[in-house]
Amino acid sequence: MFKTRDNISSFLTPYTSPPPARTSKSQDELKSKPKQKKRFLQQRDRTIKEIRKYKDFDEGLKRWKIQSGYHRRSLIESFMFRLKKAFGFNLQHKTDRARKNEIIIKINLLNQMVSYVKLNILYSL
C-alpha cells in the first residue's frame, strides 16, 4: 500500500497527454510556422518525433506506449472503471482510516470475483 504521494508518483510514469493521431504534425512541420514555439506542445512534438523514428506508425505508437508507460495508465483506468461499476462511485465511511479499509475490502472482493470468473471459464472448457 502506498503511504505518500511520492511513492505513487514513482510508480506511475509522468505522462500528461494522449497519444497523437496518425495525421498529427509537430510545430516544425506546420505550413505556417509559429513565431515562437508553444511550450505546452513541446512534449507532444517529442512524442510525434519519437513515433516517427519507426517505419510503421503503428509499430512506433506501440513502442512509445511501452516506453512512456501509457499502458499502465490504461490498465489503471480500466481497473477503476470495473471497481466503480461493481461497487458504485461513493464511499460510505467518513473517516480516512475507514475509507482506506473500505477501498481495500472492495479491491479484494473485485480480485476474488475476477479469479472466480477465470476459474469458471477454465473449468467450462
* pLDDT tens string 3-61: 444 444 444 445 556 777 788 877 777 777 767 777 778 888 888 888 888 888 889 88
Q: Is 112 a member of any domain?
A: yes
According to DSSP H, which parts of the chain are helical?
5-11, 42-52, 57-68, 70-87, 96-124
* pLDDT tens string 66-121: 888 887 878 888 888 998 999 988 889 999 999 999 999 999 999 998 888 887 88
Does residue 17 sit in the same domain as residue 60? yes
b/e for 78-110, b at 16 or more Cβ within 10 A? eeeeebeeebeeeeeeeeeeeeeeeeeebeeeb
Q: Is 57 a member of any domain?
A: yes
Does residue 17 sit in the same domain as residue 56? yes
Q: Domain range holding 28?
A: 8-71
Split into its structural domains, the chain has a count of 2
- Over the chain, what is the mean pLDDT? 80
Does residue 26 sit in the same domain as residue 56? yes
Does residue 23 sit in the same domain as residue 62? yes
Does residue 12 sit in the same domain as residue 57? yes
Q: Is 98 a member of any domain?
A: yes
Q: Is 61 a member of any domain?
A: yes
Residue 62 reports pLDDT greater than 70: yes
Q: Is 47 a member of any domain?
A: yes
Does residue 37 sit in the same domain as residue 64? yes
**pTM of the model as a whole:** 0.51
